[in-house]
Amino acid sequence: MKGMKKDTASKSEHKHSKKHRKSSKKKERGILPYISNPLIYVLISLIVVLPVFMGFTKGAVSFVHKVQKDYSIDFNDVSINTDKFDNNTLVYENDRIGACEKVGVLKYESVGIISDVYYGINRVSLREGIGLSSKSTFDSFKSKLSLAGYSTRALKGLSNAKAGDIITFETTDKIYQYEVESNTVSANPEVQSSSVMVISCDDSSKAFSAYSKQKRYVVASFKSMRDKKGE
């Protein structure tokens, strides 16, 4: 009986010793595996994903540079400039006016529109006020002005334009008056006069875009011009 007890005790000690060794091995592993394994996955991801991402980024940068090269400065994100207008030194010639330079003030007070006008129809001009197309011509009463803006900003209320309303455009030295002929939503404005102002904006809630098929066009013909001196 004593021998059997000794054998049982010996076996129990042996099992306890094995459990202790296993427990010791587990403790010896520490936290290194928990750090090293995620790091390995991260490194593998970088090796596989990073070159693809770099290639995509390089292609995107090249595309942006190509677009900036192909399009005129009107389409680049430049800032507005009011210096020449404020100092009465602006020369109204297309090749002497910089993009986003203030060229005048549009007043259509009967529908609540008073806004600064900037040279070039681009996102900077439209964000700050009204854009004047670089294709516009300044030649006293023969001027042909093409303007555009957002219906939710500078041109809010343009949908209320009525035939016979008066719109004024003030430059550094002159005040032009135009009389509204029509207010339509179409693909192209209906222009009948040779000396005319055409104002366009998005129709209702539709986003303004050069590619939109339908826009609101308010066409106004030249009525009078006077000097601004003394005002």
| pLDDT per residue as tens digits for the range 166-181 | 999 999 999 999 999 9
Q: Residue 126: name the closest of 150, 147, 101, 102 by CA.
A: 150
SS3 178: strand
In this predicted model, what pLDDT tens digit does every residue of 170-225 receive, in sequence order?
999 999 999 999 999 988 887 877 789 999 998 765 555 545 678 999 999 999 98
CB 71 within 8 A of CB 65: no
- Tell me the pLDDT tens digit for each residue of 72-84: 554 556 899 999 9
* Spatial CA neighbour of 164 closest among 106, 108, 215: 108
DSSP structure class, residue 119: E
Question: In the predicted model, what is the mean pLDDT of residues 94-120?
Answer: 95
Does the pLDDT of residue 101 top 60, yes or no?
Answer: yes
pLDDT tens, position by position, 2-48: 445 445 545 555 555 555 455 554 455 566 666 777 777 777 766 77
What kind and span of H or E run contains 111?
A: none
**Under 8 Å CB-to-CB from 202, ≥6 apart: which residues?**
150, 151, 208, 209, 212, 215, 216
DSSP assignment of 192-231 equals --SSEEEEEE--TTSPP-TT-S-EEEEEEEEEEEEE-TT-
The bridge status of strand 174-186 relative to strand 196-201 is unpaired
Asked if the model's pLDDT at residue 150 lies above 80, the reply is yes
Check pLDDT > 70 for residue 157.
yes
What would be the CATH architecture of the domain defined by 76-227?
Answer: Beta Barrel (2.40)
Query: Tell me, what's the pLDDT at 229?
Result: 72
Residue 162 has pLDDT above 90, yes or no: yes
pTM of the predicted model, to two decimals?
Answer: 0.65
DSSP 55: H
